[in-house]
Chain A
Amino acid sequence: MCLAIYGIVAVLIQTGLLSSFYQITLINVCINIVLAVSLNLIIGFTGQFSLGHAGFMSIGAYATAIVLRMMPNMYGLLIGAIVGMILAGVASLAVAIPTLRLRGDYLAIATLGFSEIIRIIMVNGGSLTNGAAGLSGIPKLNDWTISFVAVVLAVTVVANVIRSKAGRNCIAIRDDEIAAEDMGVNTTMYKTMAFAIGAMLAALAGAMYASYFYVIKPSTFNFNASINVLIIVVFGGIGSITGSIIGSLVLGVLTTMLQDLAYLRMIVYAVVLIIIMIFRPQGLLGDREFSMRTFKRWMTRRKGTAADDKAEG
């Protein structure tokens, strides 16, 4: 199914049916999927409320941009992304070890503070980060193929972590940290692990961003950026990977569709969010996953009831 989606979109782009305007939306959706899925690992599955995702993303973006300046080719992009992910991983450990003993709101504030620190570092980074103006002229190497691979990579990593011992431990921590620790789960270690994996994937999203939009500046990765990712996660369903994917898609398409409405755009966007939160406070998918199997079961059940109705009629 993955290949089918990839193929169809690739053909659409080749034949020019998908204009470059919509391609921007497409890449944006891909970046948001990587961000949302990785944040969902931290918030939705491990229950650690982090508001620092944009900070980790910016580490990836800057690392990629700086490496690409030295070697403006595909190897540069690959090396930049890897360097960014490693740096983000190290940074996440530095944040996690003192802050993960905090809970709920306190952790949110601490991670928020951290991402602001990163932003200030970028602003004051001298010639390396070029201050508030940011870095520009980054070669545009990212395209649909690369973005798609990145999305598949991120989703696979998170899905495989969730469906393993580590994932069960994370969910156990979310549901009851004291009980988890008493059942032999090293809670500090697993929280840190989830945090680090999430941060590294956020850096990957940063690399995708830097190599597509030519320009990065510190203000791109501010508090609002973290909140936007949080909105997608909550909208799609906290604790649902497919929810995050669908959330990114729906909100991405919605933003594009509302582009013409100018000022009204944010209002309509907000209204849609409010409506969803009223009628589905658990998000679009809640904590369930969407799979072809459940879809088929749902279809056969509907067919079944239809057949029953006929038989009775």
Chain B
Amino acid sequence: MIKLKVDNVSKYFGGLTAVADVSMHVNEGELVGLIGPNGAGKTTLFNLLTGEDEPDEGKIIYNDDRRAYELNGLKPYKINQLGLARTFQNIRLFKKMTVMDNVKVAAGQAVDYNIIEAIVRDPRFYKQEDVIAAKAESVMKMMDIWELRNELSSALPYGQQRRVEIARALATDPKILLLDEPAAGMNPQETKDLMQLVRQIKKQFKVSVLLIEHDMSLVMNLCERIYVLDFGKLIAQGTPEEIKHDPKVISAYLGGE
């Protein structure tokens, strides 16, 4: 079943065409890679998917189990509530909050109590806060950051900040997880661990994963299908094996003759 469908989407910034007529889809439980040289429009496409930017042309459709939603023009928080969660290329954690609170912000969105209940501390407040804490705990244990829960998120090393960011995204209960260069700045061992982790997440949380990555070994090993963007255009798609031998991809990455 197709969870996410991008239909002939374009985005212009002034005279620059950042994304040109791109169509793609992500199936349920699939691990899809999005690659391309720097400035190819990968992150712009992510921003369109999560609602930070609106496409100038085309449609983005998200399929729930029950119905289809058009994501164009929806606010990012609405899109998140529908089931898309992302991480950022340059980590965007809540710097002055603890790791625990970072995850709790995300875990809290599905839990409902109003501000009056918080001010008078009524029993429902405590009950709902317990639900949030329990959910944060389970995600953090899974991501192996439970020991860091009381650390300030900005005090952590890079690799762990990435883990916190993924945990935070997972705590919103996504159906599709969008990872923007999760391996950036990681050493080969950390990258290997990350691959393992992504596979595990996919299985345990039953999510589809769409990831942007520069690390070819990671993309080729991990992804079931790959889309290649260059100058905003989709130049190739297929299995890792097909992509590896696609002449257009090779010329985009290594430069044509």
- On A, residues with C-beta under 8 Å from B are 156-157, 160-161, 164-169, 171-172, 174-176, 178-187, 193, 197, 239, 287
Instruction: Find out whether the CB atom of A183 lies under 8 angstroms from the CB atom of B105.
Output: yes
B96 near A164 with CB under 8 A, answer: no
B105 touches A187 (CB 8 A): no
Q: Are A161 and B94 in contact (CB under 8 A)?
A: no
Beyond A164-B118, A175-B94, 14 additional pairs, beta carbon < 8 A: A160-B119, A161-B115, A161-B119, A165-B128, A165-B132, A171-B96, A174-B96, A175-B96, A176-B93, A179-B92, A179-B94, A182-B52, A183-B109, A184-B80
Whether A164 lies near B106 (C-beta < 8 A) is no
With A172-B105, A175-B96, A176-B94 known as contacts, the answer to whether A182 contacts B118 (CB < 8 A) is no
Question: Measured between alpha carbons, how far is A26 from B91 in the docked complex, in Å?
Answer: 47
Chain A minimum-CB-distance residue to B178: A182
Q: Across the interface, do B172 and A184 meet the contact criterion of CB distance under 8 Å?
A: yes
Chain B 103-114, CB-CB to A under 8 Å as 1, else 0, gives 011101111010
Q: CA–CA, A172 to B96, complex, Å? A: 9
Query: Which residues of A have CB within 8 Å of B86?
Result: 182
Check if B106 sits within 8 Å of A184, measured CB to CB: yes
Instruction: List B60-112 residues whose CB lies under 8 Å from chain A.
Output: 75-77, 80-81, 85-86, 88, 92-97, 101-102, 104-106, 108-111
Q: Which residues of chain A are within 8 angstroms of B129 by Cβ–Cβ distance?
A: 164-165
A195 CB, min distance to chain B CBs, angstroms = 13
Interface size class of B (residues with CB under 8 A): 35 or more
Contacts of A175 in B (CB 8 A): 93-97
Given the known inter-chain contacts A168-B105, A182-B52, please indicate yes or no for A187 contacting B77, CB distance below 8 A: yes
**CA of A125 to CA of B15 in the docked complex: distance in angstroms?**
53
Pairwise interchain contact A168-B119, C-beta atoms closer than 8 A = no
A168: which B residues are within 8 A, CB to CB? Answer: 97, 101, 104-105, 108
A-B contact pairs, 19 of them (CB 8 A): A161-B115, A161-B118, A161-B119, A164-B125, A167-B118, A168-B97, A168-B104, A169-B105, A171-B96, A176-B92, A176-B93, A178-B76, A179-B88, A181-B52, A182-B80, A183-B109, A186-B75, A193-B115, A197-B115
> Is the beta-carbon distance between A182 and B85 smaller than 8 angstroms?
yes
Given known A-B contacts A179-B88, A183-B168, A184-B172, A171 and B115 have beta carbons under 8 A apart: no
Q: Is the CB of A181 within 8 A of B77?
A: yes
Given A171-B97, A179-B92, A179-B94: A185 and B118 interface contact (C-beta under 8 Å): no
CA distance A185 to B77 in the complex (A): 6
Q: Which positions 127-155 of chain B face chain A at CB distance < 8 Å?
A: 128-129, 132
**Contact residues in A for B93 (Cβ distance below 8 Å):** 175-176, 179
Q: In the complex, A187 Cα to B209 Cα: how many Å?
A: 26
In angstroms, how far is the closest chain A Cβ from the Cβ of B64?
A: 16
* Chain B proximity of A33: nearest CB distance (Å): 18
- Contact of B52 (CB < 8 Å), options: A176, A178, A180, A287: A178
B121 within 8 A of A: yes
Residues of B within 8 A of A166 (CB): 115, 118
Q: Which residues of A contact B121 (CB under 8 A)?
A: 160
Chain A residues, Cβ within 8 Å of B85: 182-183
